[in-house]
Amino acid sequence: MTPDASPSSTISATSPAAVDRRTATREDVSRLLRDKPIILAPMEDVTDVVFRRLSRTLGADLTVTEFVNVEGLLRGCRNARRKLRLADDDALTAIQIYGSDPERLAEAASVAEEAEPLYVDINCGCWVPKIAARGAGAGWLRDPDAMVKMVSMVVARVKRPVTVKTRIGYGPESHMPIVELAARLEQTGIAALTIHCRTANMGHKGNADWKWAGLAQERVQIPVIVNGDVVSGEAAESALRSTKAAGVMVGRRAIEHPWVFREIRHRLATGTDLPAPTTKERFDLCRTHLLANVAERGLPHGVRVTRRHLTGYLSGIPGAAMLRQALFREDDLAKNLELIDEAEARAEKWTREGRTEPNRSEPNDIELSQPEQVVADHKSDAFANDAVSVA
């Protein structure tokens, strides 16, 4: 923790606590996941406590942690333990684990359930070669029999509900085991199944083929969640309509555009689309996420982990490229906040003047004074955004 950010500088959110995650049963989880939930997908280095809170505030019903490596967890690795920590407002949050050894996965699931997640999710879908090549993640799809046995072992070992996230197959596309595999996984006692509708060999290339989620949902009674290319309200509506699946999971789109959760929620409720986020909302979210990350991670790491989101947050704003370049060079919290303030004022001025680029005579650098006061001012009154607030 640093003097520039106090623990209270966090995003406030209230999850729809329909059940107590600490006592939720398999039936409770299945019921929640049948009710058209909008779920934040587990993403490494993204879905930490801050981003989960931000996503819930913007409309996500359930969230999942970053991937927790079972070997790191069982060795007591600090980063694995950090990922396992759930905040008081993580009311509907699951923990995802991954590994290649069934016994170690079962042992790690027992450790994970001590954190009292809503459920424990087993990652059988990560396609990244360094994961899948070792037999973890989507590597399990190379041997469906072994995958089913592993899931059975985990379900038998823990009291918490268990779910599985996987893909339609490892590849090639002519071999799609997911429908039969879904039926076999249901027999293990899992509460739900999330399907990323690409093969492992596809990675994130090509289009997700949602029909496989629909075929799996026809075959099983447990909820099937659709993942892959759920990038908008319209896409979510189409995925649910075409598959009759129970809910949708949003991954990479949320990194750059977390407003997607409220957009999906509005589309499913009304059949219409929300307007795009305003320029003010985009700048407010930059400040909010920055302050919350620094409060959680300290300096300079809190500033640096926010950067992966900025390209999307600032999309369409006049002068965005210039601002991103400046922010990516600066690790100081106060300077980041002042750069954002200056860019917002500049964007408003350029918009009034009908332009998107600076005049040659306009300076690109900011002279900063009293950085402590800059931070204090933002903590006290820069977060009136209705969508995301700092408490």
Tell me which residue of 155, 217, 211 sits closest to 187, measured CA to CA: 155
Active-site residue, 126 included: yes
Confidence tier at 354 by pLDDT (50, 70, 90): confident
169-224 pLDDT, tens digit each: 998 766 789 999 999 999 999 999 999 999 999 999 999 999 999 999 999 999 99
Tell me what the mean pLDDT of segment 331-354 comes to: 91
Pairing status of strand 192-199 against strand 224-227: parallel
Quote the pLDDT of residue 313. 97
Domain limits for position 87: 11-270
Say what percent of the chain tops pLDDT 90.
Answer: 81
Tell me what the mean pLDDT of segment 85-109 comes to: 97
Provide the number of structural domains found in the chain: 2
CATH code of residue 80: 3.20.20.70
For residues 58 and 29, membership in a common domain is answered with yes
* Catalytic choice (77, 124, 126, 286): 126
Total number of residues shown for the chain:
391
Tell me which residue of 212, 258, 218 sits closest to 41, measured CA to CA: 258
Query: End of a domain among 270, 304, 325?
Result: 270
Query: End of a domain among 209, 237, 270?
Result: 270
Quote the pLDDT of residue 4. 39
Whether 151 has a pLDDT exceeding 60, the answer reads: yes
The two structure tokens encoding residue 21? 């995650």
For residues 210 and 339, membership in a common domain is answered with no
For residues 238 and 299, membership in a common domain is answered with no
pTM exceeds 0.85 for this model: yes
For residues 247 and 381, membership in a common domain is answered with no
Confidence tier at 379 by pLDDT (50, 70, 90): very low
For residues 262 and 291, membership in a common domain is answered with no
Which stretch of 277-281, 283-287, 296-300, 316-320 has the lowest confidence by average pLDDT?
316-320
Query: End of a domain among 242, 270, 298?
Result: 270
Residue at 245 is within a domain: yes
Whether 71 has a pLDDT exceeding 70, the answer reads: yes
Quote the pLDDT of residue 362. 54
For residues 90 and 151, membership in a common domain is answered with yes
